[in-house]
Structure 1
Amino acid sequence: MNTKRLIWAVPVLALLGGAAAGNLMVRQPEATADAEDGPSLDGETGEKTASAPEKDVSPAAWFKFPNQFFVPIVRRGEIDGMMVLTLTVETTEKGKPAIEAQEHRLRDALLRSLIIHANTGGFAGNYTADPKMQQLRESLLTTATKVAGADAHAVLIEDLARSDR
């Protein structure tokens, strides 16, 4: 009889222990500041310290390029295929007009970056592997920030397709 209880007790205790450990590992929300936005008191010296600069709290916005990007895949001097991408630039409501005003320069710079990525083998083999996609995203964001400045927060790859010859 005690063996039957033990057989049931061990999994139940393991489940409870796992749930408790998982609860401890879950990231707790950060404590919110008081309603006062002014400087805070330093706990040790009692001196006032300036609060950190606030980030732009403007709502997120997206600029979707009206046309897709077509990137030729060249192998041994001949076109071997074509990559087709749909890109969107993540920005804020305040920054969206600046991105729209730079559309043509931004499109040109992103296309150059995509062609460099293609010519260096970025679209060869398993081009959707995480390291290659991460490299592509970083390259596109670097290019976008060079053209549009801090208004470009991310370059989203919405569609990605390869057409082989």
Structure 2
Amino acid sequence: MKKLLPLILIILGIGAGAGAGLALRPAPQPEDMAMNNPCGDGTGAPVAKEPEEEVLPEDREYVKLNNQFIVPVVADGRVGALVVMSISVEVKLGARETVFLREPKLRDVFLQEMFDHANQGGFQGAFTNSNTLDVLRNSLKEAGSHVMGDQLLDVLITDIARQDS
């Protein structure tokens, strides 16, 4: 009996977890359903996804933002470290001047994303882990896209250092 009770609890736990996972999964999006339906959308016309415009390597340029970003890392109500970062942006050819014209707004949205990242503990521990930096890079790209539109192709973290106090 002592060995049977843990086994029953394990089976119930697995069943409850699987049931909760099935019950709480998100509903499929209409785009996903169209992609999964090889017969089309029911109207007789084939469902075609719009091709994304591909930017060739020679149609890109890299713009280094003028100054480094300094982000305080707050721990226990005081600044425990400073993170210093240099960033370049990858843009479509000819957008260099637009980057410099909009640099104050770009710096503002980038700093806000970095502060949010720091407040979520992104600069603690192994902060140079590729997964951690990918999260930061993606959030910077998304924020920068609100300023630059489709001219911004990517955000590159060229230097990063943390100075503990």
Q: What TM-score, normalized to structure 1? A: 0.65
Q: Which has the larger Rg?
A: 1
The separation in 1 between residues aligned to 2:114 and 2:70, in whole angstroms, is 9
Judged with a 3 Å threshold, the aligned counterparts in structure 2 of structure 1 residues 101 and 123 are, in CA distance, closer, same or farther, namely same
Q: Which amino acid aligns with 1:159?
A: D
Q: Does 1:154 align with 2:154?
A: yes
Q: CA deviation at 1:163?
A: 0.1
Judged with a 3 Å threshold, the aligned counterparts in structure 2 of structure 1 residues 53 and 146 are, in CA distance, closer, same or farther, namely closer
Count of residues in Structure 1 that have an aligned counterpart in Structure 2: 115
What secondary structure sits across from 1:113 in the alignment?
A: helix
Q: Does 1:139 align with 2:109?
A: no
- Is residue 74–residue 119 contact of structure 1 (8 Å, CA) maintained in 2? yes
Judged with a 3 Å threshold, the aligned counterparts in structure 2 of structure 1 residues 132 and 53 are, in CA distance, closer, same or farther, namely closer
The separation in 2 between residues aligned to 1:115 and 1:65, in whole angstroms, is 18
Q: Which amino acid aligns with 2:160?
A: L
Q: CA deviation at 1:53?
A: 7.2
Q: What TM-score, normalized to structure 2? A: 0.65
- Is residue 67–residue 86 contact of structure 1 (8 Å, CA) maintained in 2? yes
Considering fraction of residues, name the structure with more helix: 2
Specify every segment of 5 or more residues in structure 1 that has no aligned partner in the other structure, as ranges.
1-51
Q: In angstroms, what is the RMSD of aligned CA positions?
A: 1.8
Identity of matched residues, %: 33
Q: Which amino acid aligns with 1:74?
A: V
Judged with a 3 Å threshold, the aligned counterparts in structure 2 of structure 1 residues 94 and 119 are, in CA distance, closer, same or farther, namely same
**What is the aligned partner in structure 2 of residue 117 from structure 1?**
117
